[in-house]
Structure 1
């Protein structure tokens, strides 16, 4: 297995140069959602990110509630799924997550070492929200998608129970609202072109 260096963090990325390891901890854990966004995602298995928890911030028009992100909290573990993606699938997922090279998107790439069930560590990218602001409540439907994904991917039952006990509110309209995703994408694209 080869590794490439990221000199900004000192971490070496695992895997082939034409593949990417991505740690998903939100709705992208769900088999149907990742299949919609990526053509051939390879599931490497459950993994945990030490020193982080799941938090919700901002507002998603797609799900009518807070967006998921990884929040640093010492001594806690954020569980998720480690995927191996082709370069093209990684680009598609970036577009869905609004992660941009210029940093103007809703999420940014965050390199981190995650640990699989066998204890092996891998350097992977995860998506983190760029601007947090005050915490917001996710919609019940969005949280249900995350819980379904966590259970389907075999995350520890104790962690799935934590997810089930998180606060959520019912969405005010039918979700997921794919038209909302297109509106968000158009607004972000339009604002990136603004001069002032």
Structure 2
């Protein structure tokens, strides 16, 4: 049955409204993006249409950061002074505690410095769960191999650990403070890929993990072959 003329007009009006709505949404997104970019321009880590990001956890690895931030370009290894690497807050995605940085006098944390398009800044905020209250962004000054210091965006857990993981006896680290095997392998692979000093790579390899495997991420990031320090090797290092 052919539609009547009135039904035809109604359908045309409905289509027109849909097109108008789509145009409005596109304009709204454009305005929102422009407003966000203007706001981000005030951040020290922003320069022009790009920003510096310091990844000390899974985002040291290229294949990991490019999942959510395809415009990320590696600058190289970078050193953060007076912060320690620690672990807390179990996540189902990684099957264990995740990394954070905690202000600690004389401590050092190595990571990877990236340059990322400013349009991806909200993406990395979302990856870190800023909107969920998981991580909070901050600006830190990191040192490159040539002694140049640059401001960079990074993140730490909102609920920071109250104790220093590295002051604990290795075999008494609680499960809630242990990263998964997969997460730790990601950190080790990323640090090697980024050219971080071998001493720090060995430090990462020696961190106690819970033995759990995040199978999907292990396969996607090709982590199965990444070597970690076994418990008996750790005991030998400690003189036990």
**Unaligned segments of structure 1, at least 5 residues:** 7-12, 178-196
- Output the TM-score relative to the length of structure 1: 0.78
**Structure 2: 5+ residue runs without aligned partners?**
1-40, 163-175, 219-240
> For residues 170 and 14 of structure 1, do their structure 2 counterparts lie closer, same or farther at Cα, with a shift above 3 Å needed?
closer
> Computing the radius of gyration over CA atoms, which structure comes out larger, 1 or 2?
2
Hey, what does 1:57 align to over in structure 2? 88
Alignment match, 1:111: 139
Q: Give the stretch that moved more between structures: 131-140 or 65-74.
A: 131-140
SS for the counterpart of 1:94 is helix
Question: 1:87-126 maps to which residues of 2 (within 5 A)?
Answer: 87-100=118-131, 104-126=132-154
Matched residues, number: 165
Q: Which residue does the alignment assign to 2:201?
A: 160
1:15–1:98 distance in 2 versus 1, CA, 3 Å: closer
Query: Which of the pair is proportionally richer in strand?
Result: 1
The RMSD of aligned alpha carbons is: 1.9
Give the TM-score taking structure 2 as reference length: 0.64
Q: Which residue of 1 aligns with 2:78?
A: 47
Cα distance in 2 between the residues matched to 1:173 and 1:83: 25
Describe the superposition over 1:173-194 as per-residue Cα deviations: whole angstroms up to 9, x where unpaired.
63539xxxxxxxxxxxxxxxxx
Higher helix share: 2
Residue of structure 2 in register with 1:23 after alignment: 54
Q: Measure how far apart 1:18 and its partner are.
A: 2.0
